[in-house]
Each structure stands twice: as C-alpha cells, then as structure tokens.
Chain A
Amino acid sequence: MVETFAALAEPNRFRIVELLRSGPRPVNTIGERLALRQPQVSKHLKVLKAAGLVEVEPRAQQRFYALRPEPLRRLDDWLDRYRQLWDERFDAMDEVLEELTQKEDEG
C-alpha cells in the first residue's frame, strides 16, 4: 500500500494513471497525450508497474500499458474505513450541535 501511495504521489504518474483509465496505450501515445518525453514516460511506467498499478500487454509489434484496478480498489477500501470512523464521530457531533442550537434558541 505504501508503494501505491508513493507511485501516485508523483503528479505525472497520477496523470498517466488517469489517462489509462480510458484504456491501454503504448508508451509513445502516452507521451504525446501528456506532452512528456518518452524516456520520462518509460521511467514512470516502470515505477507504476513495480507498484502493481499497470501491466504490459503485448499487441502486434507494440507494448500496451494497461491499468490494474486491484491496488486502486484496495486504496479506496482503505480510505473508506477511515472515512467511516470520522463519519461515526460526526454523527455523534450532530447531536451535540443540535443541543447547542436548541439552548441558544431557548435563550
């Protein structure tokens, strides 16, 4: 999970992941779409691949990079549990707030 965070924290890598959501692409079209040089794209793809976020699909003469949804799904589950914890606290806080408002209304 640390790897997923680290891989996505770099803005250009995040852009690559966003782009690949629309489907697998070869290195050169990723570079063109994001205005990045190919060696740079290759370097980022290597990190994304190590983090399990992309995989390579050979097609004809080209290597297409495709998104692997599992780490993103795990990240989402992870955040959701943290969110639920805060949600529980805030529900309790709603009751406190309602009481403060009532007290004020009563003057």
Chain B
Amino acid sequence: MMTATRTKNTTTVELEGDRVVVIARTFRAPPRHVFDAWTKPELVARWWAPKSHGVTVKSIDADVEIGGRYRYVLSHGDNEFAFSGEYVEIDRPGRLVYTQVFEAFPDQPTTITVTFEEEDGLTRMVSREVYASAEARTAALESGMESGMRETMDQLDELVAELAAG
C-alpha cells in the first residue's frame, strides 16, 4: 500500500486552428490499462460523469469494434442526456478513433482521436477533438464555462453538450 502523497498529474487543454481542441494528461499506468479504462463500459461508468456537477452515469453501452457503436447516458435529477457514436479505428493499446454526437444535436458530429503512448512506464494520453465547425467548438467550450456558474436545466443541457468531447 502506497502512503506517500503523489503529485497530481496536470491536464492540459489547447486549441488548434478554429475546430480542434486537444486534451492531454499523463496517467500512472501502462497504456493497456488506460485504453481499457477509456473503452470498457463497466470502467467508463466509473469516471465519465463529472460528479461535482451533480451528474451521474445512467448507462454505458459499447460495442468496441470497428464500425461498432456506443451510447453513454447521463442523468441529472429526472433528466437524461445521451451521447453516442461509432468506432472508426481501434488499435489497442495505442490508438482509438471514434465519432461522437450529443443526441440533442445529432447533425454536429465530433471526431475524436485518442493516442496512448508509453513513457517510462507511464501513459501519455492525447485526445484530439475535431468539431464539425468553429461554431460547434465554441458552443462546446462555452457551455463548460456556463455550467460552473448556473444550475438551470438549460445550463445543464449545455454542460452535457460540452461533455460530448468525451
């Protein structure tokens, strides 16, 4: 059992051009574990909801194969929000490409490419989100800010739209 305090790994978010957001972070685990945590439904269910926003996972279904689909449903009170998409490339443990839509706006799919690279026994994860348009990216980022400030259901809708980056 490790008791020493560990330094927290830093999450970075950067913009590229007008449609891309790049999220990066290092994990203290080998790529195969990070890949599994990212894709296996029973594991995704444990981290995908941002709990401090009062959001919980309702269901996570995923058919992790090329052309397979996934659907993540979150809930907040009586309301449910779903995200879904299709796996485009699967190369465990190094690379994963999938599409994602917030089902309320199904005509604005985001394409997400995640790479898991081993660095000294740790994993460097880089998630590159390519939005359908500059406006779609702006809406996604904007909702992240609003969600922290207000708690109306409209705002929650926006929050969950912002989660579509997952």
Contacts and interface: CB of A to CB of B under 8 A. Distances in A.
Interface in A41-87: 77-87
A36 interface: no
B67 interface: no
A85 B144 contact: yes
A34 interface: no
A9 B17 contact: yes
A85 B8 CA distance: 15
B108 to A, nearest CB: 15
B152 interface: no
A101 interface: yes
B148 A90 contact: no
Given A92-B51, A93-B27, A78 B144 contact: yes
Contacts of B28: 94, 97-98
A89 interface: yes
Nearest to A7: B18
B66 interface: no
Decide if the interface of chain A is mainly helix, strand, loop or mixed.
helix
Interface residues of B, number: 43
A106 interface: no
What band does the interface of chain A fall in when counting residues whose beta carbon is under 8 Å from B? Answer: 20 to 34
A12 B71 CA distance: 41
Contact of A90 (B14, B25, B145): B25
Given A2-B134, A90-B9, A97-B37, A85 B50 contact: yes
Contacts of A84: 148
B27 A88 contact: no
Interface of A: 1-2, 5-6, 9, 77-98, 100-101, 104
Given A82-B145, A83-B13, 5 more contacts: A5-B15, A6-B134, A92-B51, A96-B46, A97-B29
21 contacts: A1-B138, A2-B134, A6-B18, A6-B134, A79-B141, A82-B144, A83-B11, A83-B12, A83-B23, A85-B50, A86-B23, A86-B165, A88-B51, A89-B50, A89-B166, A93-B47, A94-B27, A96-B46, A97-B34, A98-B29, A101-B33
